[in-house]
Structure 1
Amino acid sequence: MHAEKNTKKIWMIIVGCILGVIWISPFYLMLTNSFKTKKELFSDTLGLPKHLNFDNYVNSAKDLNVVSTFMNSLVITVVSVAIIILFSSLAAYAIQRTKSKWSGFFYMLFVAAMLVPFQSVMIPLVSVFGRVNMLNRPGLVFMYLGFGASMSVFLYNGAMKGIPQALDEAAIIDGASRWQIFTKVIFPMLQPTTVTVALLNVMWIWNDYLLPSLVINQPGSQTIPLTMFDFFGQFTKQWHLAMAGLTIAIIPVIIFYFVMQKQIIAGVSEGAVK
């Protein structure tokens, strides 16, 4: 029996190592090739760079207009995620605390929206927003709210099931309004879920290319994924600069993850216990 457990443990370690190598291989290729010249990248894609060529990062940052595009991506991501968190948590609170047939209907409506692919509504959505002159950054934020709310409401609704309604009743007895109950009692208890919602939406919005390309593809308002496409022209592909640009682009998301790591682990642990 003991030998069987050791065999299973060894196999789990082997499988874990294989999955780890598969997961980290794109990051290895991106990072190592970002320091190579174009000639070296094509001659030895998998190997380590012979010399650390930082010119790729300098040229990539210049071509990306990194300060402007970074600020565009940052503003759109922060505003979109903040609005998604606010409206999704409020919607989930209303659905969870209102016991009626309509609350169940609206909840199922949000869940069903998760199954609708963006490509199926892409053309009519852009057409409608174009008619009302909303093909701009505010319009993009509004679209992100629409596409991100369904999953966020689903997560918040599940978390609120573990919060006793007696807390609401006690706060009402103390004279608190519904808004005060939500902001002072309920929302602080949803911190692990809020971090999870924020992380998922930050990664999605920060790296999104398709929706911004349809809405704000104008000079001066482009995000990092949009300007990254400039490295891939009709007659040439600057992979060495693209690798450096991708490395620059993912740094903010990695920093955000490590800063919020404790809260993310707490949210996973809380979900496992429940």
Structure 2
Amino acid sequence: MKKQSYGMKWLSVEVVVILVGLLFLAPFYFVLTNSFKGFAELLVDTSGLPKSLSWDNYARAWEVLNFPRAFLNSLLITLFSALCMVVAASMAAYRLLRHPSRINRVLFSLFVAAMVVPFQAIMIPLVQVGNWLQFLNSIPGIIFCYTGLGVSFSIFLYHGFMKSIPLEVEEAAVMDGCNPYGIFWRIVFPLLKPMTITVIVLQSLWMWNDFLLPLLVLQKPELQTIQLATNTLFGQYLKQWDLALAALVMGIVPILTFFLVLQKHVIQGITAGAVKG
């Protein structure tokens, strides 16, 4: 009876988890199936399968949105912002952790406190400062903004992960005559691989799908990201849902594939980062 009740309990949990999973996957079903429908069919039958598998929406969205350029803009912004975060956050977290002092503890507390500040509270001052520094309508400018906005969370993750790295490894490198920069880049940083991948994936998901910051910073059409380009399909009097859904699918597939490939490293990095020294 005990084994039977235990089995029924976990079976019920699995059924609930499957139902919740299907609920979360429902939007993907609607986006994918409706991306193959014409505009008239989409309005008549939203939940049904398409009558024929047509790629016309994808071809038209590719041309109308100039999708290759929008994809390149999103890729450049996401790639270089993530790289800047990794370099800045890993070095800062190492310094804050390995050189404990009152100033470093205060700085780490400020970085953690900055994580709870909503972007909407600072977006107007950010645009004003960006305009003063001539960062608006500039790919390097928005990369700088993303790096500043995401470095606090990245430092928090790196700081927790580095506590699991034995200090004896660095002491041995010092005995071998390695300088501080060599200790970090040759000894410590390779050990941060799980957390580095975690930071890159999590921050890339945020930046790739972000709409508000590019809307504020990038005003020129040739600098639009995928999200900004897709938004042009929704006007005051006309909403081109057929092309927008196709554009959404083309925008989701790259970042979704990227996440699924590196998912196991993300789980490993978050789990290891939970270890306290």
Place the TM-score, normalised by the shorter chain, in its bin. over 0.9
Tell me how far 1:4 sits from its aligned partner.
2.0
The separation in 2 between residues aligned to 1:271 and 1:72, in whole angstroms, is 32
State, as a whole percentage, how many aligned pairs show the same letter. 45
Task: Establish whether residue 194 from structure 1 lines up as the match of residue 157 from structure 2.
Answer: no
Asked whether the 8 Å contact 1:111–1:150 carries over to 2, the reply is: yes
TM-score by structure 1 length? 0.96
Kindly report the root-mean-square deviation, in angstroms, between the aligned alpha carbons of the 2 structures.
1.4
Please name the residue that 1:204 is paired with.
Answer: 206
Instruction: Find the partner of 1:151 among 150, 153, 166.
Output: 153
Cα deviation 1:239-267 (Å, max 9, x = unaligned)? 11111000000111122123323423433
Please name the residue that 1:31 is paired with.
Answer: 32
Please name the residue that 1:103 is paired with.
Answer: 104
Alignment CA distance shift 1:112-1:269 (3 Å): closer
Note the residue ranges of structure 1 that are not aligned, 5 or more in a row: none
Asked whether the 8 Å contact 2:96–2:108 carries over to 1, the reply is: yes
Please name the residue that 2:118 is paired with.
Answer: 117
Within 5 Å, give how 1:245-264 maps onto structure 2: 245-264=247-266
Please name the residue that 1:78 is paired with.
Answer: 79
Letter in structure 1 aligned against 2:79 = V
Task: Establish whether residue 222 from structure 1 lines up as the match of residue 224 from structure 2.
Answer: yes
TM-score by structure 2 length? 0.95
Cα deviation 1:198-220 (Å, max 9, x = unaligned)? 01111111111100111112121
Please name the residue that 2:68 is paired with.
Answer: 67
Note the residue ranges of structure 2 that are not aligned, 5 or more in a row: none
The separation in 2 between residues aligned to 1:55 and 1:88, in whole angstroms, is 44
Letter in structure 2 aligned against 1:111 = V
The separation in 1 between residues aligned to 2:43 and 2:246, in whole angstroms, is 15
The separation in 2 between residues aligned to 1:160 and 1:272, in whole angstroms, is 10
Letter in structure 2 aligned against 1:172 = V
Cα deviation 1:102-150 (Å, max 9, x = unaligned)? 1111111110000000000111110121122111221111110111011
Task: Establish whether residue 91 from structure 1 lines up as the match of residue 101 from structure 2.
Answer: no
SS of 2:232's partner is: helix
The separation in 1 between residues aligned to 2:89 and 2:150, in whole angstroms, is 9
Cα deviation 1:41-65 (Å, max 9, x = unaligned)? 1111111111112100000111110
Aligned length: 274
Asked whether the 8 Å contact 1:35–1:52 carries over to 2, the reply is: yes
Cα deviation 1:55-76 (Å, max 9, x = unaligned)? 0000011111011111111111
Instruction: Find the partner of 2:164 among 142, 157, 162.
Output: 162
Please name the residue that 1:41 is paired with.
Answer: 42
Asked whether the 8 Å contact 2:73–2:225 carries over to 1, the reply is: yes
The separation in 2 between residues aligned to 1:241 and 1:16, in whole angstroms, is 33
The separation in 2 between residues aligned to 1:114 and 1:157, in whole angstroms, is 14
Asked whether the 8 Å contact 1:217–1:226 carries over to 2, the reply is: no
Alignment CA distance shift 1:198-1:168 (3 Å): same
Task: Please list every run of at least 4 consecutive aligned residues from structure 1 whose deviation after the TM superposition is greater than 4 angstroms.
Answer: 271-274
The separation in 2 between residues aligned to 1:84 and 1:269, in whole angstroms, is 21
Alignment CA distance shift 1:92-1:268 (3 Å): closer
The separation in 2 between residues aligned to 1:47 and 1:2, in whole angstroms, is 43
SS of 2:239's partner is: coil
Asked whether the 8 Å contact 2:163–2:275 carries over to 1, the reply is: no
Asked whether the 8 Å contact 2:164–2:273 carries over to 1, the reply is: no
Within 5 Å, give how 1:263-274 maps onto structure 2: 263-268=265-270, 270-271=272-273
The separation in 2 between residues aligned to 1:110 and 1:61, in whole angstroms, is 41
Asked whether the 8 Å contact 2:112–2:156 carries over to 1, the reply is: yes
Please name the residue that 1:10 is paired with.
Answer: 11
SS of 1:231's partner is: coil
Letter in structure 2 aligned against 1:158 = G
